[in-house]
Amino acid sequence: MGRKSENDPSCSLMARAVQRMREEDVGYAWWQWKQNTDSPDRYALHYKGPQNTWVEKTDEVNVLREGWT
């Protein structure tokens, strides 16, 4: 599962997908933990920030944490 961050800035689609998969007891993976880009609008949960440091998309990671607990 996944979506471009730019297409779901409020994370509402992501949260709905995670909730629905949990309700139906369907196993899944959220792909692309890190990607080689400096754009926060792409798929991954982390993007490259200044000086090649990884920047976490905290709001998206929190959606997954809440859905998986």
CB within 8 Å of 41: residues ≥ 6 apart: 4, 5, 6
pLDDT for res 55: 95
pLDDT tens digits along 2-40: 889 999 999 999 999 999 999 999 988 887 888 888 999
Domain boundaries, the chain: 5-68
pLDDT tens digits along 48-58: 998 889 999 99
Distance (Å) of CA 7 to CA 2, 25, 52, 68: 11, 26, 25, 23
Is residue 55 within 8 A of residue 49, CB to CB? The reply is: yes
pLDDT for res 62: 96
Confidence of residue 64 (pLDDT cuts 50, 70, 90): very high
